[in-house]
Amino acid sequence: MANSPAAPIMLELVDEDGTTIGTAEKLSAHVAPGQLHRAFSVFLFDEGGRLLLQRRALGKYHSPGVWSNTCCGHPYPAEPPFAAAARRVGEELGVAPSLLREAGTVRYNHPDPASGLVEQEFNHLFVGLLRDELRPDPEEISETAFVTWDELEKRHATDPFSTWFMTVLDAARPAIRELTGGTGNW
């Protein structure tokens, strides 16, 4: 029996206040000029206060091969962002955070010159701790690295990063400082 095509992945469209106003297919929501949709970004740290970065797999249709935060994605329609973030951490990294908490929201519009796609997102931020050994899904992640603030600054100056990375990092920094006790210049 032939495989049936996968059902399209749907995203929640939102207004400027984050209120759901409809749905759209994932790729169509990212085609310029983009449609404002719900997303999430996760920042996980080890017990030494180092941030886990991931390098997106080369097979990703959007932003392949660039470094980014620990995990990011989109909740399914009606899926709470916290549940979606925890789900995707498990799917992408093969682990569950030992702690995960909300860290606010940020709204942005970042065109990606390499792909022509647009990240127009109402992004829910999460910070947490990770204690287990990673088992990254190679379809999602090509490489991981735990970095200090100084190491992140050096890497960010030389390596390609996702267009949204600094926006979500800056928005999450108050919660990151609280989580890490302000260590490491976060």
**Annotated catalytic residue within 121, 143, 153, 178:** 121
Closest CA to 51 of 174, 145, 163: 145
Q: Is 121 annotated as a binding residue?
A: yes
For CA atoms 105, 73, 108, 154, the dihedral sign is: positive
pLDDT band at 7 (very low <50, low <70, confident <90, very high): confident
pTM for the model: 0.93
- The answer to whether residue 121 is catalytic is yes
In the chain, the percentage of residues whose pLDDT exceeds 70 is 97
Mean pLDDT is lowest, of 12-16, 42-46, 178-182, for: 178-182
Q: Identify how many contiguous H helices and E strands the chain contains and give both numbers.
A: 4, 9
Of 12, 25, 47, 72, the catalytic one is 72
Is residue 92 a known part of a binding site? yes
30 is in an annotated binding site: yes
Rounded-to-integer distance, Cα 72 and Cα 87, Å: 11
Q: What mean pLDDT do residues 6-14 have?
A: 92
pLDDT band of residue 181 (cuts 50, 70, 90) is: confident
Both tokens assigned to 16: 């400027």
Is residue 81 over pLDDT 60?
A: yes
CATH numeric code, 15-181: 3.90.79.10
Taking only the tens place, the pLDDT of each residue in 85-95 is: 999 999 999 99
- The reported pLDDT for the residue numbered 2 is 46
Q: Quick check: is 71 catalytic?
A: no
Per-domain residue ranges for the chain?
15-181
The maximal CA–CA distance of the chain, rounded, in angstroms, is 57
**Was 119 annotated as part of a binding site?**
yes
The model's confidence at residue 5, banded by pLDDT at 50, 70 and 90, is low
Helix (H, G, I), strand (E, B) or coil at 20: strand
Q: Is the pLDDT of residue 3 over 60?
A: no
